[in-house]
A and B are shown apart, each in its own frame.
Chain A
Amino acid sequence: MPFASIYVPNFPVAAALRAEPELQGRALAILEGKPPLEQIIAVNEKARHMGIAPGMTKAQAELCAELALRPRSALRESAAHAALLDCAQSFSPCVEDAACDTALLDLAGLESLFGSLPEISRALHNRTATLGLTANVAVASNPDAAMLAARGFPGITVISPGKEAEQLAPLPTEVLFVTGLAEDRLQEDENKSTARLLETLDRWGIRNLRGLAALPEVSLSERLGQEGLRLQQLARGAASRTLVPVEAPPIFEEAVELEHPIVLLEPLAFLLNRLLEQICARLDSRTLATQELRLTLDLENFSSRNQQSAINHQQFVRTLRLPLPMLDAKVFLKLLQLDLNAHPPGAPIVKIHLAAEPARPRSAQGGLFRPPSPEPEKLELTLARIAGMVGENKVGALELLDTHHPEGFRMQRFVAEAPRNNEREKAPTPTEEKSAVTALRRFRPPLRAHVTLENGQPTHLFCRNNIQGGVLWKAGPWRFSGDWWEHEAWSRDEWDIALRNIALQNNALRNGDALSFHRLVHDLLSGGWFVEGTYD
Chain B
Amino acid sequence: MSSAVVSTSAALGRPFVFDDETVPEVSSSVSPHCGGQAEAQESPIARVLQSAISNQKSKIPPARVTPASQLDIRPAPEMVSCGIPALDALTGGLPRGCLTEICGPASSGRTTVLLAALAAATRRGEFCAVVDASDALDPRSAAAVGVELSRLLWVRCGEDPPKPPTRQKGCPISRASFTGKAGAREACPEIAERVGVFSQAAFDFERTRLKKNELLENGLKENSARQSEHRLEQVLRATDLLLESGGFGLIALDLSDLPLQAARRIPLATWFRFRRAVEPTPTILLAIEPHPIAGSCSSLLLQLALPNSQGETMMLDHPEPSRVAAAWESPARQCRVGMEKKAESRRDGAATDDFTHPTHAQLLTGLNITAELIRSRLDRKPARSIAFVTKTAWAG
Chain A residues close to B by CB (< 8 Å): 370-375, 378-379, 381-383, 385-386, 389-391, 394-400, 403-404, 406, 408-409, 411, 414-416, 419, 424-428, 432-446, 448, 450-457, 460, 462, 470, 472-482, 484, 487-491, 493-496, 498, 500-502, 504-505, 507-509, 511-517, 522-526, 528, 530, 533-536
Contacts and interface: CB of A to CB of B under 8 A. Distances in A.
Interface string B104-135: 01111111111110011001111100000001
Nearest to B362: A475
B338 A438 contact: yes
Contacts of B47: none
Given A371-B126, A375-B245, 4 more contacts: A436-B112, A450-B206, A460-B203, A476-B360
B183 A475 contact: no
Given A382-B245, A398-B152, A462-B210, A484 B195 contact: no
A349 B145 CA distance: 51
A452 B198 contact: yes
Contacts of B210: 450, 462
B173 interface: yes
B167 interface: yes
29 contacts: A371-B282, A372-B246, A382-B241, A396-B153, A424-B148, A432-B146, A438-B338, A441-B138, A445-B163, A450-B203, A452-B200, A452-B202, A456-B194, A460-B200, A470-B319, A473-B339, A480-B180, A493-B191, A498-B339, A505-B313, A509-B310, A509-B313, A513-B308, A515-B313, A526-B165, A533-B136, A535-B392, A536-B106, A536-B256
A73 to B, nearest CB: 40
Interface residues of B, number: 131
B94 to A, nearest CB: 14
Given A398-B139, A437-B390, A528-B165, A390 B238 contact: yes
B52 interface: no
A444 B152 contact: no
A369 to B, nearest CB: 10
A339 B185 CA distance: 44
A390 B125 contact: no
Given A373-B247, A435-B391, A515 B206 contact: no
Nearest to B166: A526
A443 B286 CA distance: 22
Contact of B114 (A381, A400, A409, A439): A439
B274 interface: no
B182 A404 contact: yes
A467 B161 CA distance: 20
Given A374-B245, A452-B200, A482-B183, A435 B390 contact: yes
Nearest to A415: B150
Contacts of B126: 371-373
B380 interface: no
Contacts of A403: 183
Nearest to A397: B150
B105 A504 contact: yes
B275 to A, nearest CB: 19
Contacts of B151: 397
Given A400-B140, A416-B127, A516-B107, A438 B188 contact: no
A397 B152 contact: yes
Contact of A512 (B114, B125, B203, B310): B310
A251 to B, nearest CB: 33
A445 B310 contact: no
Contacts of A370: 125
B197 interface: yes
B154 interface: yes
Closest 6 CB pairs between A and B?
A404-B183, A374-B247, A456-B192, A445-B164, A456-B195, A382-B245
A383 B154 CA distance: 11
